[in-house]
Structures are given as C-alpha cells and as structure tokens.
Amino acid sequence: MRKIKGALIDMIIRENISTLKNLIQKNIFLKLIIIISTLIYPTIFLLDITDILSIEFLNPMFSTMWIGFYSSIILMYFVGVSLINILLVLINVCIILFFMFASLMGGIEGPLALTIKMILPFIPLDWLDFNWLN
C-alpha cells in the first residue's frame, strides 16, 4: 500500500512539473523572468567586485552563490537549451569557479564549504566546521 501511494505521489509530482515546464515554454513573460533571474548573481558579483555595492549579507561568495546555481538549473530545465541560455549559465559557472579557486586558500575545506553552502543555502556557516578532516 505504501509503495502504491509513493508511486502515485511521484506520478502527480512529475505531471505537475511537466505542466509547469510546458507553461513556461509557451509563455514569453515567464521565460523572460527566468532569464533575468539568471543575471542576478553576475550583477551582484560585478557590483561587489567594483565596490559599488558592499553589503555583507549580499556577499557573492557565501550568501548569494545559490542564486547562480539554482537559477542556472531552472533556466536550462524549464526554458531549454539555446545559445543565450548556455552563455548565461557559463557566466554563472565562471563566477562560481572563480570563488571555488579563491576558496582553495582555506584548504580543501574551502571548496567543500562553498559547495555545501551553494546547494543548501540555509545551513549556517558555523555548522561547516571541518576539523574532522585534519
């Protein structure tokens, strides 16, 4: 009974996601919103690197890296693959790789903490103590 219920929920979720994907691909306004959301992370990065915007909670290295990660995934999955979309994803990937390279100064714990913080942004930095690696 539990397997049938789980399979039914899985089927409903897949149908809802495919319906949402079709809706986004047909609606130009929703496509535009997703494309613009992909530009948020590079904009924050440029404003921070040029010292125009220097706010601690908008730190592109820890606080907002998840925006670049998840907006790129959403763009490629829901909008589709095109030259502009690939370029936007590559911009986000280059910025993320720049921070991953810079975080190597903290040893292997740096990129590991950035990866965890990028995928699970709600985890506090205090929880990412990797003393057990030493």
pLDDT 10s digits, 8-39: 888 888 999 999 999 999 999 999 999 999 99
Contact 79, 35 (CB under 8 A): yes
pTM: 0.81
- Domain map (residue ranges) of the chain: 27-133
Q: What six digits make up the tokens of 50? A: 């040029």
Please state, in angstroms and as integers, the Cα–Cα distance from residue 121 to each residue in 26, 30, 63, 64, following that order.
31, 25, 7, 8
Give per-residue pLDDT as tens, 50-77: 888 777 766 767 788 899 999 999 999 9
Place of tokens 């590079």: 42
